[in-house]
Amino acid sequence: MNFMTSHPMIESYFDALATQLADLPAAKRDEVIRELRAHVADRLEQIAVPTTDDCRSVLAAMGTPVEIARQYRLELVLSRSAWKISPWSLLRTLFRWTLTGIQGYVIFIVAMIGYTVGMCLYVTALLKPLFPHNVGFFWSEQGVNLAHFPDPPLGTEMLGPYYIPFAVFFGFLWTLGTTLTIRYIIRRFGKLKQKVAGMAVSA
Amino acid sequence: MVLLRKEPKSEPTEKWEAQLRKGCLELAILACLWEQRLYGLEILRALEQNSNLVLAEGTVYPILARLKEDGLLQSEWVEADAGHPRKYYWLTAQGRQRVVSMALFWNGFSANLNLLLKPVLNGKGRA
């Protein structure tokens, strides 16, 4: 790694690419970036004394990080298992963003709330057979209550034993919805980062 | 990479060309690897010399990744004597079979299409 291959323009390009590929498993993402870095290094090695302009044209010939990530998505669409759907991995990615500013922090909190609601629904489904009077869909003037200990919650239990499939179904729906929302935000956020990187490249 | 264009082309023509390039790129990449192991930039150079299939260099790597996922290619990082390690690709037995069948299909397909295009290229039947 010489001065040029660690040029800030190249670093911001690969940072943007890493963000675009955030939903690829870490090992695969690192492999992609390692290979494309080797390509950039090869191209720069062909030039006796590479300048910042050479860096810019080598990166321009590669295509934008958005375009490359889009191609990876298209090409690897058949092996969808390669793409992250695990809430844990997504939360880890988001947690790294919380360090980058308020935007990342807000997204992380929203994701935490989403997964917590999903998990609560699953937990209440598990508890319903053990505590049928304390857990359920209790409707009262104060609103909906799912569980209360040691006394039962206020209101009337609406679903009885049907609460279990209800909670499992909506728990799944809530978790899936949160996951898809985060993935969407990751892409949008990534584009934002790409714009910043693009400004650095054209500066 | 420079794509030479003799005359400006209409949007539908460009779209058709892009689709044709994309469709042929997979065969071209597999064909490059028929005789030897190559790393990404060497594959690009071979494509540059023999075709104008590649518009953005970075787009070759996702195709290589998919061909590997499909079991047509295998890859390995190799340390260079000087410089940095490079990821070499080579055809698997399945990949060799696939490229042969693709090449045979292409041969018949292009021969038939060339016959069909002959009068067009000779300027016959011009409106």
Record: contact B58-A68, CB cut-off 8 A = yes
In the beta sheet, which residues pair with residue B89?
Answer: B38, B75
Q: B108: buried, middle or exposed (CB in 10 Å: 19+, 13-18, 0-12)? A: exposed
- Nearest Cα of chain A lies from the Cα of B105 at a distance, in angstroms, of 22
Distance from CA of B18 to the nearest CA of A (A): 14
CB A75 to CB B65 under 8 A?
yes
Q: How far apart are the C-alpha atoms of A188 and A194, rounded to whole Å?
A: 10
Interface of B with A in 8-27 (CB under 8 A): none
Q: DSSP for B50-67?
A: H----SSGGGHHHHHHHH
> Three-state SS for A7?
coil
> A23 or A156, which is more confident?
A156
Which residues in B lie closer than 8 A to residue A1 (C-beta atoms)?
84
**Residue A143 near residue A135 (C-beta atoms within 8 A):** no
**pTM for the complete prediction?**
0.61
User: What are the tens digits of pLDDT across the range B31-85?
Assistant: 999 999 999 999 999 998 877 777 788 889 999 999 998 899 999 999 887 778 9
Assess whether pLDDT exceeds 60 at residue A201. Answer: no
Give percent above pLDDT 90 in chain A: 29
Tell me how crowded residue A131 is: count the other CB atoms within 10 A of its CB: 15
Q: Tell me, what DSSP letter sits at residue A78?
A: G
Q: Go through chain B and tell me how many residues it has.
A: 127
Contact between A162 and A133 (Cβ < 8 Å): no
For residue A75, list chain B residues with Cβ-Cβ distance below 8 A.
62-63, 65-66
Beta bridge partners of B90: B74
Taking CB atoms and an 8 Å limit, are A61 and B86 in contact across chains?
no
Under an 8 A CB cutoff, do B56 and A41 touch? Answer: no
The continuous run of DSSP H or E covering A139 comes out as strand A135-140
- Put simply, the answer to whether A38 touches B63 (Cβ < 8 Å) is no
Give the dihedral sign, CA A56/A59/A64/A69.
negative
Least confident of A1-15, A118-132, A142-156: A1-15
If pLDDT is split at 50, 70 and 90, which confidence band does A32 have? very high
